[in-house]
Amino acid sequence: MFKKIIIGICTVIVVYGVVWIQLSKNYELNKVSIVIKEEFQQEYNNYQFTADDFEWANIENISYGLLNATDLEGNPIPNTSRYMEITLNMSGPIQVLFAIWHFKTLEFVEKAKFTGNQSVTE
């Protein structure tokens, strides 16, 4: 029985390690990308969202982003600028996943997801 418990714990550690390595290649493990619902555009435009609004203690920083997309002719596509990036105090795939699940329950959040790594290649 004891051996099964030890094997189970080791398996969880290995799986967690593999998940961590795979996610860290593609995603930042201390940030969550958020899109605010259209009906909260005014609050977004006035930078009124604070860490208290997210009801989550693990927030280090909130960054307002600009995702003003354009169509093929260069015309702006409306409602594409409600993007935020939340930096967490504690990092890791589990912390980011729990934050995403929580943020999705908030009335002003349209989408919440892992933030992709930005890499520059020559």
Q: Where residue 56 sits, what CATH number does that domain have? A: 3.30.70
| Residue 16 lies inside a defined structural domain of this protein | no
The amino acid at 8: G
| Residue 73 lies inside a defined structural domain of this protein | yes
pLDDT at residue 67, as a whole number: 59
Residue 32 belongs to what domain range?
A: 28-116
CA distance 34 to 53: 13
- For tokens 């959040």, name the residue: 109
Count of other CB atoms within 10 angstroms of residue 29: 18
Q: In residues, how long is the chain?
A: 122
- What's the pTM? 0.68
Q: What is the pLDDT of residues 64-120, one digit of tens each?
A: 876 555 666 766 655 556 888 999 999 888 888 899 999 999 999 998 988 876 544
| Residue 99 lies inside a defined structural domain of this protein | yes
